[in-house]
Structure 1
Amino acid sequence: MTFVTLDNVDHADLTVAVRAAPAFSDHVNLMPIVPAEFEEAQRELPIVFRRGEGGIRAFVLLGLDRGENLFVADGHWTTRYVPAIQRRGPFALGAGDAIEVDLNDPRVGAADGLPLFRDHGGDAPYLEHVRAALLMLREGAQHEQAIHADLAATGLLRDVTLRIDLGDAGGYEVGDVMAVDQAALAALSGGVLERLHANGLLRAATMAASSLGNVDRLIELKTLKEAR
């Protein structure tokens, strides 16, 4: 990788293609997201949690087999919402919030790419989109561990094994994950309920819980894939 700081003079004509492929880490069945993404992600993707060395992280469930993303087809995401970690593309935040680009990434300079700068030198819509994703990821990294630890401490996260029946195509078990316990969520009361409502965690937990309804869509996509 060769990251350089973007400049609207040196890189005035630079374009970057928006593509989804295994080479760009799109083909995974679990992809990390930050709490600020819950509202949009929960409309289409199941949200689960996992424990790791750094604490608890949130993920969207994209497939049932390792390396499987059922929401990518023909080099593009089929969902309206794409996780910020992928929306950032071949970019990173540098010193002073300057945006850096990996010039060795095959998406950079592609003929079908989107411009990064307007004719007068300002950021083009695609670069504005990338900047928002990068800032969301940085902000999320600063607070996600405390948020998820608080959800666990209040008893809202429980270890689960998602059992998925595909009929004649067999079944799957997705283990080593946690999900929001809807019974525990409904039983919240008193000071704990008030605190979680005041700090926004109640809303986050509710969205994560409701997102599990999207497992049905995952099953539908997997069944269609197996039938081909």
Structure 2
Amino acid sequence: MPNPLVLSPKECQGKTWHPPVDLSFAADKALIPLHAGELAKAAATMPLALIKEHREWRLVGVCGIETGHNLFIKDGKWLGNYRPAWLSSYPFEIVAVGEKGVVTIDRDSGLLGAEEGEPFFDEQGQMSDAVSIRVEALKTSHRKHQATQKALSALAKTKVITPWPEALYSQLGLSINGLHMIDEKALSQLDDETFLSLRKAQALPIAYAVNLSLPQTHLLGRLARLNPGYVTAPENLDSFFDNDEDLSFDFDA
């Protein structure tokens, strides 16, 4: 968040906000943040990837094939079966300050006002109901994001994170750089102690889900024809996944 406003009675005095009426605020976001608690539903709905931001790995849902266009959002409505939790708390975010987290709101969101709009706090300094609901949901998600970060750090230490295949980029017409998955061969060759450390860090479900979600790029291709941006999607991605053993996990191994 480039220009945050701390959510407090003092900082928000004289300011109001406008709750989003739809999801248009995320129509230009091709990557949506996810936490591990969303894995099961998200992986069945969209491809997942790992990206590196400021030396830390993040779990994201890949919602587009080009930057600046979210294929899942059309006319402010979500076209998929699962809607990521991040969308429900925007424009609020928790920013780490030392060991504590501070709730902030994006000044550049276009949702801040002065006289018109809803107040953040009442005269007694209590959060309004609309703000409180979002902040509580945000706090819950934040704890899950923290656990997810620990799991991703464990995966990174074992050096099993690898870029998406170039062939998939080419086949999909993908222009978003930095998408990563798990190197299944490297994961299977880890010694028992290292593999157990991933299990204790609850990193294995993320590893499996990310790779198993890649066939959902089929959906991106279909959405690109329904909700086109600048890049034309291929008619068929089936050939890429046919007999591709590198994108499957043997759970019995």
The equivalent of 1:19 in structure 2 is 22
Taking every aligned residue pair, what percent have the same amino acid on both sides?
24
The equivalent of 2:196 in structure 1 is 194
Cα deviation for residue 108 of structure 1 reads 8.5
Q: List alignment gaps of at least 5 residues for structure 1.
A: 7-13, 110-122
Residues 73-115 of structure 1 deviation map (CA, whole Å, 9 limit, x = unaligned):
1212122322333210344569x99988789977689xxxxxx
| Contact kept? 1:30, 1:60, Cα under 8 Å | yes
The 5-angstrom pairing of residues 1-228 of structure 1 reads: 16-21=19-24, 24-92=25-93, 128=133, 131-140=136-145, 142-160=146-164, 161=166, 162-165=168-171, 171-188=173-190, 190-224=192-226, 225=228, 226=232
Which stretch of structure 1 is more off in the superposition, 39-48 or 172-181? 172-181
The equivalent of 2:121 in structure 1 is none
| Contact kept? 2:66, 2:175, Cα under 8 Å | no
Cα deviation for residue 5 of structure 1 reads 5.5
Q: Structure 1 residues 73 and 197 mapped into 2: Cα distance closer, same or farther (>3 Å)? A: same
Q: List alignment gaps of at least 5 residues for structure 2.
A: 10-16, 114-127, 234-253
Q: Give secondary structure in 1 for the equivalent of 2:90.
A: coil
Q: Which has the higher strand share?
A: 1
Amino acid at match of 1:53: H
Which stretch of structure 1 is more off in the superposition, 48-57 or 181-190? 181-190
Cα deviation for residue 207 of structure 1 reads 1.2
Which stretch of structure 1 is more off in the superposition, 98-107 or 131-140? 98-107
Distance in 1 between the 2:108 and 2:191 partners? 54
| Contact kept? 2:155, 2:161, Cα under 8 Å | yes
Distance in 1 between the 2:175 and 2:20 partners? 36
Aligned length: 211
| Contact kept? 1:91, 1:101, Cα under 8 Å | yes
Distance in 1 between the 2:67 and 2:106 partners? 27
| Contact kept? 1:55, 1:149, Cα under 8 Å | yes
Q: Structure 1 residues 131 and 70 mapped into 2: Cα distance closer, same or farther (>3 Å)? A: same
Distance in 1 between the 2:28 and 2:169 partners? 22
| Contact kept? 1:18, 1:89, Cα under 8 Å | no
| Contact kept? 1:45, 1:211, Cα under 8 Å | yes
| Contact kept? 1:88, 1:131, Cα under 8 Å | no
Distance in 2 between the 1:173 and 1:93 partners? 30
Cα deviation for residue 63 of structure 1 reads 0.8
Please tell me the root mean square deviation across aligned C-alpha atoms, in Å: 4.1
Amino acid at match of 2:51: R
Residues 3-45 of structure 1 deviation map (CA, whole Å, 9 limit, x = unaligned):
7669xxxxxxx98444111xx2442112222333323321212
Q: Give secondary structure in 2 for the equivalent of 1:51.
A: strand
Residues 144-190 of structure 1 deviation map (CA, whole Å, 9 limit, x = unaligned):
44322211222321123442436xxxx33543222112333444562
Amino acid at match of 1:131: E
Q: Give secondary structure in 1 for the equivalent of 2:213.
A: helix
Cα deviation for residue 55 of structure 1 reads 1.8
| Contact kept? 1:157, 1:180, Cα under 8 Å | yes
Calculate the TM-score normalised by the size of structure 1: 0.68
Residues 110-140 of structure 1 deviation map (CA, whole Å, 9 limit, x = unaligned):
xxxxxxxxxxxxx979964662244212541
Distance in 2 between the 1:102 and 1:145 partners? 23
Distance in 2 between the 1:103 and 1:159 partners? 34
Distance in 2 between the 1:196 and 1:58 partners? 16
Calculate the TM-score normalised by the size of structure 2: 0.62
Distance in 2 between the 1:78 and 1:17 partners? 17
